[in-house]
Each structure stands twice: as structure tokens, then as C-alpha cells.
Amino acid sequence: MRTATTSMQWSDANQSYLVAEFARLKFRLGAELEEQEVGERVQATRGLLPAPAAIDTVADLFGLSAFERDLLLLVAGLEMDAELGRLCAAALGQTQRPQATFGLALAALEHAHWSALASVAPLRRWRLLEIDDSAGLVAGRLRLDERVLHYLAGVNYLDPRLQPLLTSVAPPAAMAETHRRICESVLERLRDHAAAYPVVLLSGDDVDGQQDIAAALAAQLHMQLYAVQVEDVPSTPAEADAFALLWQREAALLGATLLVHCRDAAPHKVVLRVAERSSSPLFIVGSELPSFKRATISISVNKPDSAEQKRLWQQVLGSAATDLNGALDGVASQFSLSAQAIFATGTRLQDVSADENRMDEALWDACRHVGRSRLDDMAQRLEPAAGWKDLVVSDAQRHTLRQIAAHAKHRLTVYQQWGFAEKGSRGLGLSALFAGESGTGKTMAAEVLANELRLDVYRIDLSAVVSKYIGETERNLRRVFDAAETSGAMLLFDEADALFGKRSEVRDSHDRYANIEVSYLLQRMEAYRGVAILTTNMKAALDVAFSRRLSFVVQFQFPDQQQRELIWRNMFPAATPVEPLDYAKLARLSMSGGNIRNIALNAAFLAADEGRAVGMRHLVQAAHTEAAKRDRPLSDAETRGWL
């Protein structure tokens, strides 16, 4: 497609050409002008144009006949040339506001034909002209769309009616090499079908990358890309028709192409209509893409792998990347970021002074924040406060937890540099099952790992994920996993047996779909490249297929007396005033770590209410309260000697 050049030279020449064309129309309306002189002036001003005039571009784009072109010029001239308006008024015998009518055009202009104002003809089909039909087709006042009027005058802009819906997308500043190769392949196919561009369907997990590819392809085709969210596209028949027509007209006038973000929603009829009728390329992003009568190109665009992410970081950080002392390996293995996110984050980090020796920490924290906003809407973010010294477990359990941390830190080295990723593309994430009674430290262990690995930890709210509607649970989980991979977050499926239960024998459709949900979860857990922790106090209720998909299983035992004493000794913060306590006697109380924390906290409130330090009498009272919650009151023997 051709669009008008916006240079000052073209603008001045376009204005001169319009004046000459208006003079030609004045002659047709009876002005005292020399026909030869008028014709020579039109030819002379046309020769000064460095690119086609706006009126000629419109005529070419929309297939206007010579009469339709002059009719459009005549109505535009009423707005731009007062003398032309006076002549129209005189021809119609009017004394009020000048106007142009179809009858006047039929009588005065050359090559006139009745079909020019047919509803299917270009002038009305593309809403270049509108008619006040209250006075009839011949005598009704003709009006020129304001957007078209400004275009003819040399001012080209997106129609204001579309501006709230569309966003201009610039070509990407950086792209992953795999995405660049996709662009080259698709561009060749688009150029082979330039007469009727196919629809480009983009799927995969990299929404930013899909938009980058669309913008890069549009730039190569010398077009401007605009993006629209499918939920913003009008869906009522009348509004849908108006949107489709306006966009097709804008695509022609601006030399533009459209990107429709569908995400999880299926494109509705107006998108299909735009796809079928538009002659410009159309890009559609989504997971559920329909079939079209128009030819299509289907491309899967996924986020760059760890090795490519590292190269992108090196590209955007430049010389600063060499000062990170291997920190890029950890960032690239932990976070799954698009090239767009890497470039934006890296650009912001260039303001961090290298003298502060905090670039590696700033980089890591910036990556944690990239996907945090999306995940905050779907899960509860915990603020991990516990460290290794706060966790009281056996040596074997602590050793396994240390192994989990080591796996998370060195995944890029093992999978990419040492070649284990070549053995299979699945199962490269890290998942662990923490099993044990309530209060034995499972959630605290997850917090400890999150602190050690400097990760956000999100507890999955099962009530917000599981849905009674078929397919909705899988869709919700996909959103959670996708957002978690972006932010590198640790997912904590608390009481996972409620979600990851055993698949049952199929007796009806409900069983079948429940099994599909569990199967999807099993597959996604295996493919998830982040850290996922499942906790349960009913290990036997979990599906047996998890055993080979879990990287680690940690069994949290009820603490023995020695461990309970250590828990008691570490329970009170340094700022808490505490009387001398008999920790050995406290440890004889058969309570888990979670119960012990509740007792200590309740005792602290009792002591604060008295304005005194925490003592054994407060702990006795709090212990009885905690036991009553479990419907198992304490006997006198259990607290004998505390006071």
C-alpha cells in the first residue's frame, strides 16, 4: 500500500494541487476561467509532487472512478474553498449554508454515473461520504467524513473513534535469535502472498515475543502495527460492523496492520470478519485460535531458553555483564523472561552504579518484580522470614533441603552447560513434596528455601483455582504456572492432596473431567521450570504418578523431645522480655512446632496485658487454650512442675 509522505515539500505541493483541482471544479460550475489554463495548472502542480497527492492515493486505495473522485473533491472543496461553496449555492439557488448534492454533481461533473452513491459503491461503502437522505438521494446534502477531509489536506492520523481501542506498537529494540529466525521465515511467506496476505496465528507462552515478531514483520513490510485486546473489540452487530469497516479504512489510509490479543478468549465474529475482509496482514495471538477461509500461517512463539536469555542479558547490559561474576547464570535459569522484559529491565539497571557492587542483587530483585503483579492477582504472596537457624528438623531432612537449594542454584550449569537438557525437554524444573502432620515445619521449610534462593513464594488458593466448569480449572492453573515462570516464583501448593488427589475409576462425566484435571496438573508440574513445593498431611491420598515426577520427597516427622526443646529456645525474639523458663519441662509437652508457636504468641499477649515479662504461668494458660482447640485438654501431669 502507498501512503502520503508527510514531508513539508509534499504537504505544500499537495495543497497547491488541491487548489488547482478546486479551480477545475469551479470551471465546471460556471466560473469565468479559461479551460486550458485550468488544465495546465493541474498538470503543473501534479508534476511538483514528490509522491502521489492525497486525493489520488484515496482514489487508488478505494478504487474510485473519475466521477467519484471529483464528487469527493467537490464535497471537500466546500470546507476548504469559500468560492467553490458560493458557486455550489448559486447553482442550487440557495442563500443559506452552501452544500453539495448528488443532483448538482450529476449535472456539473464529467463522466457522471448513477451508481456512484450506491450503498455498495466505494464512497458509501467506506464511509468516505455520507448523505442526508431525508431530502432524497438526489437532493440530500452530502457530507465528508472529517477523518477523510484531514487526510485529503495532508494530515494523516488514527481515527479518533479507534484511538481508545488501539495501541501503537513500535518495532522491538532487541529480539531473541530464535524469534528473529521466525521473522525471516514468516516474512518470506508474506511477501510471496502480498496480493492477499494470510492471517498470522501466533500461539505459545511468550506474549511479548509474539507482539515483537508482529511488530518486526510490520516494520519490514513498511507498515505501522496497532494492537487491540479482543475484549475491547465491540461485539454487538452494529458496533462490530462499524469497527471492522473503520479499521479496514484505517489500514488503507495509514498503511497499518492489526494485532489482536485473544489470550484465553476465542476471537468473536468481528475478528473473523476483519480477517476475511482486510487486505492487510492480520496477526492474532491466543491459545484457542479458529480456522479461517483466508490463508493462515501458524507459528508457536515461546520464551527464550536459559542460554538465549543469558545472551540477551549480555547484549543489553554490555560491559556491565562482565562484572556480575556468574550471576547471569542464576538469573537465566531461575526466571523465564521475554526479550522485551529483559531489555526493559536491563535498561533500567544501567542506572545502578557499579561502584556500589550491588548490580547482581539489583538484577535479581528486578527480575523478581517483573511478573509479580500478575501473580499477585492469582495467589497469596508470603513474606518469608524464617532462616536455617529457625528450622528445627533432623540432619537427614536438613541435608535434603540443602540439596533442593543446590539444584535450584545450579540448573543452568547442569542442564545447559553439561548437556542434561539434551536428554529431554521435560522435567527440567524442580518439584518437592513436603509430607507430615500439621505444624511440623513444612511451610517454614518452604520459606527457608525461598530466603536461601531469594525467591518470592506464593501459596496457591485452591478455592480460586478449582472450578466446577469444565476446562476452567486447567485454564486457571495455566495462568498461575505461566505467571510463576515469568517471575521465577516458588509455588506452594498447601494441602496439595485436595488438588493433586488420586485419579479415580471413570463412572460418569464428572469423574472423567476430574481425571483430566489431575492429568493436566501432573504434566504441567513436570514441565514447570521453576520451583514448586507441595505440602500435605495425607501423603497416601496423592496420586501415585507423582512419585516419578517429584524431584524430592521430604517427610517431616513430629518433633521429639530434644527437638521440641530447641524449638522452645528459638521461639521468643530477642526483644521479648522473658522470665527464666524451664525449657526442658516445656519440651515434655507433646506439641508440634506450629502449636508451640501459638502457645508462645498467646503467652506473650497475656504477659503484655499484665505489663510483665513472659513467664511459665503465662505459658501454662496458653498451653491449655491451645489444647482445647484440638479437643484434647491437657492433664495436670503434662504441666506438673511448670509453676
Kind of pairing, strands 142-144 and 129-131? Answer: antiparallel
Cβ contact 202:302 at 8 Å: no
Q: What is the pLDDT of residue 323?
A: 74
For residues 597-620, average pLDDT: 93
In angstroms, the CA 471 to CA 68 distance is: 54
Beta-bridge mates of residue 396: none
In eight-state DSSP terms, residue 351 is T
Q: What is the pLDDT of residue 244?
A: 84
Kind of pairing, strands 552-556 and 531-536? Answer: unpaired
From 161, 105, 169, select the one nearest 131 (Cα to Cα): 105
30 class by beta-carbon count within 10 Å (0-12 exposed, 13-18 middle, 19+ buried): exposed
Which residues, in sequence order, are CB contacts of 502 under 8 Å at separation 6+? 518, 541, 542, 543, 544
From 487, 490, 514, 488, select the one nearest 503 (Cα to Cα): 514
For residues 187-203, average pLDDT: 85
Cβ contact 49:15 at 8 Å: no
Q: Which CATH superfamily is domain 388-556 in?
A: P-loop containing nucleotide triphosphate hydrolases (3.40.50.300)
Q: What is the pLDDT of residue 423?
A: 65
- 439 in the Ramachandran plot: left (φ > 0), alpha (ψ -120 to 50) or beta? left
In eight-state DSSP terms, residue 359 is H
* The listed CATH number (3.40.50.300, 3.30.2130.10, 3.40.50.150, 3.40.50.2300) that belongs to domain 167-300: 3.40.50.300
The tens digit of pLDDT for each residue in 16-41 reads 999 999 999 999 998 888 889 999 99
In angstroms, the CA 357 to CA 577 distance is: 39
Residue 354 scores a pLDDT above 70: no
In angstroms, the CA 246 to CA 34 distance is: 41
More confident residue, 62 or 525: 62
pLDDT classification of 499: cutoffs 50, 70, 90: low
Fold observed for domain 561-639: Helicase, Ruva Protein; domain 3 (1.10.8)
Positive or negative: CA dihedral 285, 291, 296, 301 = positive
Residue that has been written with the C-alpha cell 477545475 in this structure: 24
pLDDT classification of 280: cutoffs 50, 70, 90: confident
More confident residue, 554 or 231: 554
388-556 and 561-639 have identical folds: no
| Residue 401 to residues 414, 431, 433, 546, 551, Cα–Cα distance (Å) | 19, 12, 11, 19, 11
For residues 451-478, average pLDDT: 78
Sequence-ordered strand ranges (E) for 145-255 = 167-169, 199-203, 224-229
The DSSP string of 10-55 is: HHHHHHHHHHHHHHHHHHHTT-S--HHHHHHHHHHHHHT-SS--HH
What stretches of 286-390 show up as alpha helix (H) in DSSP? 306-317, 327-334, 339-349, 359-370, 372-376
Residue that has been written with the C-alpha cell 521450570 in this structure: 529
Positive or negative: CA dihedral 455, 461, 462, 467 = negative
Kind of pairing, strands 167-169 and 224-229? Answer: antiparallel
Cell numbers representing residue 335 in the block: 526466571
In angstroms, the CA 222 to CA 642 distance is: 83
Cβ-count burial 447-477 (b if 16+ within 10 Å, e if not)? bbbbbbbebbbbbbeeeebeeeeeeebbebb
In angstroms, the CA 254 to CA 247 distance is: 10
Q: What is the pLDDT of residue 336?
A: 86
220 class by beta-carbon count within 10 Å (0-12 exposed, 13-18 middle, 19+ buried): middle
In angstroms, the CA 501 to CA 508 distance is: 18
Number of Cβ atoms within 10 Å of the Cβ of 106: 16
Q: What is the pLDDT of residue 518?
A: 65
Number of Cβ atoms within 10 Å of the Cβ of 57: 21
For residues 368-381, average pLDDT: 83
For helices 8-28 and 82-92, the axis angle rounded to 10 degrees is: 20
Residue that has been written with the C-alpha cell 513444612 in this structure: 442
Q: What is the pLDDT of residue 174?
A: 86
For residues 312-324, average pLDDT: 83
Cβ contact 630:606 at 8 Å: no
More confident residue, 228 or 476: 228
pLDDT classification of 470: cutoffs 50, 70, 90: low
Residue that has been written with the C-alpha cell 538469573 in this structure: 331
Residue 189 scores a pLDDT above 70: yes
The tens digit of pLDDT for each residue in 100-113 reads 999 999 999 999 99
Cell numbers representing residue 208 in the block: 511479548
The DSSP string of 369-411 is: HHTHHHHHTTSEEE-----GGG----HHHHHHHHHHHHHHHTH
pLDDT classification of 501: cutoffs 50, 70, 90: low
Tell me if residue 488 falls in helix, strand or coil.
Answer: coil
The tens digit of pLDDT for each residue in 121-180 reads 999 999 999 998 777 889 889 999 999 999 999 999 999 999 999 999 999 988 999 999
For the chain, the structural domain boundaries read 8-152, 167-300, 306-370, 388-556, 561-639
Kind of pairing, strands 457-459 and 380-382? Answer: antiparallel
Q: What is the pLDDT of residue 129?
A: 93
Percentage of the residues of the chain whose pLDDT score is greater than 90: 40
In eight-state DSSP terms, residue 614 is B
Tell me if residue 578 falls in helix, strand or coil.
Answer: strand
Which residues, in sequence order, are CB contacts of 628 under 8 Å at separation 6+? none
